[in-house]
Copies of this chain bind each other. A is one copy, B any other.
Amino acid sequence: MKLSTRGRYGLMAMFQLALEYGNGPIPLNSIAEEQGLSESYLEQLFSTLRRDGLINSVRGPQGGYLLAYDPGEITVGQILRSLEGDLAPAQCVGDDGSLDCDKEFGCATKLVLQRIKESIDSVIDSITLQDMIDEVEKIHLVK
């Protein structure tokens, strides 16, 4: 039940973009360095995020990446689903509705898995990048 590095790194990088929202395009190498990640690996993640419309890119010198929307309008759920696919704990409760077991109706285990999925979804869909910024700032104020 671990998140892969795709989701984790992607979330870290998107948070970085959110922090610098409004400053124009941010080059990959600065994000990679800031977060301690491999640049060419991050590139692949950004390619996915771009295809899914969460970020925009600007080519050429002084180019880079920037959020496609306001940090308050991008949720953790959108980011994780883009990079990891559906966050269901098993295929039989996945969004695509494909079931790989026959006794789909009244399967006790499926009911449990569904509850797990719903609770994950409700968390990740309720947190925006802006929320992440606010929360970290709150902690540093208290400190």
- A interface residues with partner B (beta carbon < 8 Å): 1-3, 7-8, 11-12, 15, 76, 84, 87-91, 105-109, 111-113, 115-116, 119-120, 122-124, 127, 132-133, 135-136, 139-140, 143
Are A122 and B123 touching (Cβ within 8 A)?
Answer: no
CA distance A139 to B108 in the complex (A): 10
From A118, which residue of chain B is reached at the shortest CB distance? B123
Q: Is B135's CB under 8 angstroms from A108's CB?
A: yes
Interface of A is mostly: helix
CA distance A15 to B113 in the complex (A): 14
Q: With A15-B109, A122-B119 as given contacts, are A1 and B89 in contact (CB-CB < 8 Å)?
A: yes
CA distance A113 to B8 in the complex (A): 9
Contact B90 A2 (CB under 8 A): yes
Q: Residues of B contacting A119 with CB < 8 Å?
A: 119-120, 122-123
CA distance A2 to B76 in the complex (A): 18
